[in-house]
């Protein structure tokens, strides 16, 4: 059964109400943009909630070689990225949990309850009148209304996700979720999100396909990544305990991250006005390309200036003297995870943001990008908005399923945290040190024709 993704469940809509109102006010201020070339100050107020504007610009991509066993293209290449919006922070446990609960509740309503009261009543469109005259088109016939059902989320109700309702326990336990350490834990294969996306094959050909993704994160990645390290506390609490609500979500693979971005696009479309920037320009969320990610991460520094990133000079309140403090979450030396203030991941707004207002691009968790990984990727991509796309099938070899990961994490040494360092992971594999953030394209708005400098002086 096809379900239109139009509104949040009441548990989700409450969280979006304030966000939606704020977003509408910003986005619908489109007409107030000053009549000149778009600047950072112009578009930052129009950014979707939780995002910042990244102006267009160029960057010299030069591979930071960390694995000498691979044939790596080290030839510098200058590329340009157009303007875009980027999440201030990595996607949090709380944000991702809204997605998972929404999908789980959709499954409950459509596959278990099957009660018409939870669906909107769809009115069929009135038959279209046949055009008059001898030149009337022969295919001018009545068009039936949309027969797919849409969930009426206001009927779902409750502050707790529907799938956790005590009265449904007997019906859902063992089918939709199991009990682990006294907590209901969703079964990944039972909580599926289906969506349509554009698929790219090896030759660059594209077609639309329907993708089906199990969305619950792997909560046991801590013990999987670090066996014999007593990680049970992290396994049992990191995703579900509200103390970690504002920590980066982990245990999410590349396919799940893309599914989240698609769902998030549907949600913002359902909560913004028709005059919003999102709807006027048909903007969609996605994972950042590695060029976008590197450009945003390099705004404050050159790749060789990592020492400026790893420490920050602060003024001691008592002595009034300058002191050096760590500015990112990473492993300082072998066995030393704690010196930066946290043993594992940290709050997504830990430390100061860069000049664009972006937090923790380096460190905390590594981040999925949209690109397929190739050591010689610069040979295959354009110098304008470069991205290497390839949708590998589950049956493809691991080499074909590699996706680019950027930024380094809480468990990595400093040499993996430079803006130019590339790494990869298999698209259906998740870890305790890989998360993600989203981007959205920003229009290059020029309200009136930009004058040349020569004419402007006259």
pLDDT in tens, the chain (458 residues): 444 333 334 344 434 443 444 444 444 433 333 333 445 455 777 889 999 999 899 988 766 544 444 445 567 889 999 999 999 999 999 999 999 999 999 999 999 998 888 888 765 555 544 444 444 333 333 323 334 578 888 888 777 899 999 999 999 999 999 999 889 999 999 999 999 988 888 777 888 889 999 999 999 999 999 999 999 999 999 999 999 999 999 999 999 999 999 999 999 988 888 888 889 889 999 999 999 999 999 875 544 444 444 454 545 556 666 555 557 888 877 777 777 778 899 999 998 888 899 999 999 999 999 999 998 888 888 899 999 999 999 899 999 999 999 999 999 988 888 888 999 999 999 999 999 999 999 987 654 444 454 544 44
- C-alpha to C-alpha distance for 435 and 190, rounded to whole angstroms: 23
Residue 455 CB-half CA count within 13 A = 4
- C-alpha to C-alpha distance for 114 and 106, rounded to whole angstroms: 11
Reported for 191-199, long-range contacts at CB under 8 A and 24+ positions apart, including other chains, are 191/100, 191/103, 191/104, 191/107, 191/215, 191/216, 192/103, 192/107, 193/103, 193/259, 193/263, 195/259, 195/262, 195/263, 197/258, 197/262, 199/391
Q: What is the pTM of this model?
A: 0.81
Q: Residue 83: which of 129, 126, 122, 33 has the closest Cα?
A: 33
* SS3 of residue 417 by DSSP: coil
Please, what CATH class does the domain formed by 10-119+146-457 belong to? alpha beta
Exposed, middle or buried: residue 443 (CB in 10 Å: 0-12, 13-18, 19+)?
middle
- C-alpha to C-alpha distance for 427 and 394, rounded to whole angstroms: 9
Domain ranges in the chain are: 10-119+146-457
Going by the DSSP 8-state scheme, the letter that residue 109 receives in this structure is I
């Amino acid at each position: 059964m096809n379900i239109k993704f139009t509104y949040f469940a009441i548990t989700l809509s409450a969280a979006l109400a304030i966000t939606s109102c704020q977003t509408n006010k910003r986005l619908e201020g489109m007409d107030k943009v000053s009549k000149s070339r778009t600047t950072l100050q112009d578009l930052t107020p129009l950014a979707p909630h939780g995002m910042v504007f990244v102006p267009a610009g160029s960057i010299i991509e030069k591979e930071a070689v960390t694995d000498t066993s691979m044939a790596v293209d080290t030839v510098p290449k200058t590329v340009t990225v157009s303007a875009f919006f980027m999440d201030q922070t990595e996607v949090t446990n709380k944000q991702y949990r809204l997605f998972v609960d929404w999908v789980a509740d959709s499954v409950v309503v459509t596959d278990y309850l099957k009660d018409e009261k939870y669906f909107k009543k769809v009115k069929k469109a009135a038959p279209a009148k046949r055009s008059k005259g001898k030149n009337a088109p022969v295919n001018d016939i009545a068009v039936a209304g949309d027969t797919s059902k849409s969930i009426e989320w206001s009927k779902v109700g409750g502050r707790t996700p529907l799938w956790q309702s005590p009265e449904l326990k007997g019906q859902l336990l063992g089918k939709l979720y199991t009990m682990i350490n006294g907590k209901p834990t969703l079964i990944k294969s039972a909580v599926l999100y289906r969506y349509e996306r554009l698929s790219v094959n090896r030759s660059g050909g594209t077609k639309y396909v329907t993708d089906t993704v199990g969305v619950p994160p792997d909560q046991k990645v801590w013990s999987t990544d670090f066996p014999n390290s007593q990680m049970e506390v992290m396994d049992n609490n990191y995703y579900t305990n509200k103390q970690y609500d504002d920590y980066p979500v982990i245990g999410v693979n590349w396919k799940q991250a893309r599914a989240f971005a698609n769902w998030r696009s549907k949600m913002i479309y359902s909560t913004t006005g028709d005059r919003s920037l999102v709807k006027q320009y048909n903007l969609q969320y996605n994972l950042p390309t590695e060029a976008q990610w590197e450009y945003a991460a390099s705004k404050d520094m050159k790749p060789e200036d990592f020492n400026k990133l790893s420490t920050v000079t602060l003024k001691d309140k008592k002595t009034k003297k300058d002191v050096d403090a760590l500015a990112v979450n990473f492993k300082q030396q072998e066995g030393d995870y704690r010196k930066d203030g946290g043993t594992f991941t940290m709050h997504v707004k830990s430390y100061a943001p860069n000049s664009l207002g972006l937090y923790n691009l380096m460190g905390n968790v590594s981040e999925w990008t949209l690109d397929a990984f190739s050591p010689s990727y610069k040979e295959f991509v354009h110098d304008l908005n470069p991205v290497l796309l390839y949708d590998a099938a589950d049956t493809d070899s691991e080499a074909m399923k590699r996706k680019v990961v950027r930024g380094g994490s809480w468990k990595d040494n400093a040499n993996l945290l430079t803006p130019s360092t590339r790494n990869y992971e298999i698209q259906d594999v998740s870890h305790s040190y890989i998360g993600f953030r989203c981007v959205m394209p920003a229009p290059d708005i020029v309200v009136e024709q930009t004058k040349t400098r020569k004419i402007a002086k006259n």
